[in-house]
Each structure stands twice: as structure tokens, then as C-alpha cells.
Amino acid sequence: MNYIGKTLMVDFGMARATLRINSETSLTFRILEKDGQTVSTSETVSLKLISLRPDLCLLCWQEQSGVTVSQVHDYSNGAIHSIWTTPGAALQQFSGSLKVTEAV
């Protein structure tokens, strides 16, 4: 399945967000909840998207804040694995679930 133009619901437990893959070079994320608090942060970023095999992709981007994000999307199993590097060089890893939704 081609995920370009689709919106994904992502749940890491401590945070929920939507990701819209606009193209192979553009992604819009919207953070909906963080640490149990409702938030509404969104940004469109330049995207590097690599297809590893059918239904398995690597996505990488850098946010305006300087956070660098690398994610593996496993669409067959509804799983996401993410590593974030903060501007201060702290490394964080989270795994969670993802599913294709209607546009949010």
C-alpha cells in the first residue's frame, strides 16, 4: 500500500500524534497529547523516506526546534519505533502503535 497522502495515528503511550505523509519529501506532524496533557503542536518538515520492504519504511526529519527524528514504520504489524535526538544531544527511544486513519 502506498502511504503517501495518508494520515497515521501514532500512540507511544506517553504521547499521541498524527503524521501525514504529504510526499516522499514532506511530512506534517500534529502532537495531540503529551504526558497526559492535551496539546496542539503541528509542523511541516522536510522528509527523507526510505522503503525497506513492502509495508516497512524508514522516515527521518529535523524539526525547527533542532530535534532530529528517525522512525521505522511497520504497517503490517501496526508498529512504530522512533529515536529522537534533542538539540542538547540527548537520545530518546520510544515504540508504539500506528494505524492509518482518515484525515484529522
Q: What is the pLDDT of residues 57-79, one digit of tens each?
A: 999 999 999 999 999 999 999 99
What are the grid coordinates assigned to 55, written together?
509495508
**Domain 7-101, CATH homologous superfamily name and number:** Calycin beta-barrel core domain (2.40.128.20)
What are the grid coordinates assigned to 4, written together?
503517501
Cβ density class 74-104: b for 16+ within 10 Å, e for less: ebeeeebebeeeeeeeeeeeeebebeeeeee
Task: Supply the pTM of this predicted model.
Answer: 0.90
The full set of domain ranges for the chain reads 7-101
The pLDDT-based confidence of 104 (bands split at 50, 70, 90) is very low
